[in-house]
Amino acid sequence: MPQKMTRRQALRGTAAIAGGFWLGSEENSARAAAANEKLNVAVIGVGGRGRANLNGVGGTENIVAMCDVDDRRAGDAYLKFPRARKFHDFRKMFDDMEKSIDAVVVSTPDHVHFLPSMMAMNRGLHVYCEKPMARTVWESRQMTERAAKQGVATQLGMQRHALSNMHRVVELIQAGAIGNVSEVHSWVGGDRGMPEQPTTTSPVPKHLKWDLWIGPGKYRPYAEIKPGQGVLAPYNWRFWWDYGTGETGNWGCHILDIPYWALDLKYPAHVDAAGPPINSQTTPKSMTTRFAFPANSKRPKVDLHWYHAKNGPPILKRHKINLKGANTLFVGAEGMLLCGFSSLKLFPEEKFADFKPPGRSIPNSPGFYAEWINACKGGAPATCRFGYSGPLAETVLLGNTAYRAGGGFDWQAGSLTAVGNTQAEEFLRPVVRKGWDI
């Protein structure tokens, strides 16, 4: 007697007929839903940034499961999607609902990106994951390779990639408006980082499942800065190395997306980093990083500089240039381009006074979430699929690695080896709490 076809098998079949397969592409539609079929989506982490992601996919698709360790922060999301099953532990969610889920959105703290994303991809489920992909380089590489092997549709939460101004910047650079680019300076302002160490512990609030919040990370007892505000949860985890990646991880994937895309960057050959004295527990309030990229068939070698600097990089003052909202300066053989997510300007101004931009070649995005949803249903791969965003995330994390290791190293991307700095090895891979490994 023939076995009953599962929903996912049926969806794969109809997708092959309705949308075709992405033959020869990095991520194909072998596990896609039909173009006119709603996805069954599970969302892991529905408070904070997770709320925006939930709303981004929940307007058009079926939200069948929601998982969060904080009932208070998740509360109104639960009310908005009352038919979705509720979980505290994503491992139980996968055990109970694997065959009822097509795609998963992961919006947890950085240290819990890897495990649910890998569990989803191992099951053939599509994944949208928040940046910076994971907490360590090794985890990011594993996720990138698994996505390609499983043929699932992926998207990293670099939603500014869809902004039209980003497209115009890429077109200008690739059209040679400022000639060959030899260096790029990118930065994030502010001086967040290095929070104070707690001196006492606090009772865990009833609405928070603390052991599940820690998950695969290093266990620390719950503590509060002040009543109702945890030292780690719900936000300050990002400034602790055991759970977050600092301002570099927080903003690096967004901002370095601009030069990565424009210059077709992938893996650096050398990494340097410097900053304030290293704190083994918490992330710095400032940092300077340099990534040296070898030449390729499209461009010469490039030095990419990254700064976490309250007042921006020194090169702006040196050239006496500024632009509201700017975060990246391209230095070319024939000029400079200063830009941000929503602004751009060519320098020297007198040289480019009558400049006419090239024709538009990059199509408008249908929407960052729509890209991923369409990819899940057999459409084109999403623009920030792991095949593109994985190497970018690794580069961002290599900056943190060099800073924590006290200096630079040559980077052998194929073997994930830092040459010339033995300290770096300690920070390339995670230490996983017992019971939370795959």
Q: What is the pLDDT of residues 426-435, one digit of tens each?
A: 999 999 999 9
The confidence band for 8, taking pLDDT boundaries of 50, 70 and 90, is low
Structural domain for 20, as ranges: 7-160
Q: In the structure encoding, which two tokens stand for residue 429, read together?
A: 């891979």
Residue 383: inside a domain, yes or no? no
Residues 145 and 219 in one domain: no
Residues 150 and 184 in one domain: no
Task: Find all residues with CB under 8 Å of 53, minimum gap 6, and list them.
Answer: 43, 45, 105, 107, 128, 130, 157, 369
Residue 370: inside a domain, yes or no? no
Min mean pLDDT across 23-27, 60-64, 166-170 is at: 23-27
Residues 240 and 262 in one domain: yes
pLDDT at 321 over 80: yes
Q: Are 303 and 291 in contact (CB under 8 A)?
A: yes
Residues 202 and 66 in one domain: no
SS3 119: helix
Task: Find all residues with CB under 8 Å of 315, minimum gap 6, and list them.
Answer: 185, 329, 331
Residue 151: inside a domain, yes or no? yes
The confidence band for 36, taking pLDDT boundaries of 50, 70 and 90, is confident
Q: What is the CATH number of the domain that holds 178?
A: 3.30.360.10
Min mean pLDDT across 21-35, 296-310, 333-347, 382-396 is at: 21-35
Terminal alpha carbon distance of the chain: 35
Q: Which of 133, 160, 187 is the last residue of a domain?
A: 160
Q: How many domains does the chain have?
A: 2
Beta-strand relationship, 126-129 and 154-156: parallel
Higher pLDDT, 146 or 229: 146
Written as one letter, the residue type at 26 is: E
DSSP string, 395-422: HHHHHHHHHHTTS-EEEETTTTEEET-G
Quote the pLDDT of residue 33.
Answer: 60
Residues above pLDDT 90, as percent of the chain: 89
Residues 131 and 207 in one domain: no
Quote the pLDDT of residue 134.
Answer: 98
Beta-strand relationship, 335-340 and 224-226: unpaired
Q: Which of 113, 140, 160 is the last residue of a domain?
A: 160
Residues 92 and 218 in one domain: no
pLDDT at 322 over 80: yes
pLDDT at 15 over 60: no
CA distances to 27, 167, 185, 395 from 173, in Å: 27, 10, 14, 21
SS3 423: helix
The confidence band for 310, taking pLDDT boundaries of 50, 70 and 90, is very high
Residues 331 and 353 in one domain: yes
Residue 385: inside a domain, yes or no? no
Q: Which of 108, 127, 160 is the last residue of a domain?
A: 160
pLDDT at 26 over 60: no
pLDDT at 115 over 60: yes
Whether the full predicted model's pTM is greater than 0.85, yes or no, is yes
CA separation for the pair 377, 372 (Å, rounded): 9
Quote the pLDDT of residue 437.
Answer: 86
Residues 185 and 217 in one domain: yes
Min mean pLDDT across 174-188, 224-238, 242-256, 261-275 is at: 224-238
Overall residue count recorded for the chain in this entry: 438
Q: In the structure encoding, which two tokens stand for residue 384, read together?
A: 């920030």
SS3 107: coil
Residue 373: inside a domain, yes or no? no
CA separation for the pair 154, 158 (Å, rounded): 12
Quote the pLDDT of residue 34.
Answer: 64
Q: What is the CATH number of the domain that holds 69?
A: 3.40.50.720
Residue 1: inside a domain, yes or no? no
Quote the pLDDT of residue 186.
Answer: 98
Phi, psi of 104 (to 5 degrees): -130, 140
Residues 243 and 156 in one domain: no
pLDDT at 137 over 90: yes
Residues 156 and 167 in one domain: no
pLDDT at 29 over 50: no
pLDDT digits (tens, 9 = 90+) for 364-379: 999 999 999 999 999 9
Residues 319 and 263 in one domain: yes
Quote the pLDDT of residue 438.
Answer: 77
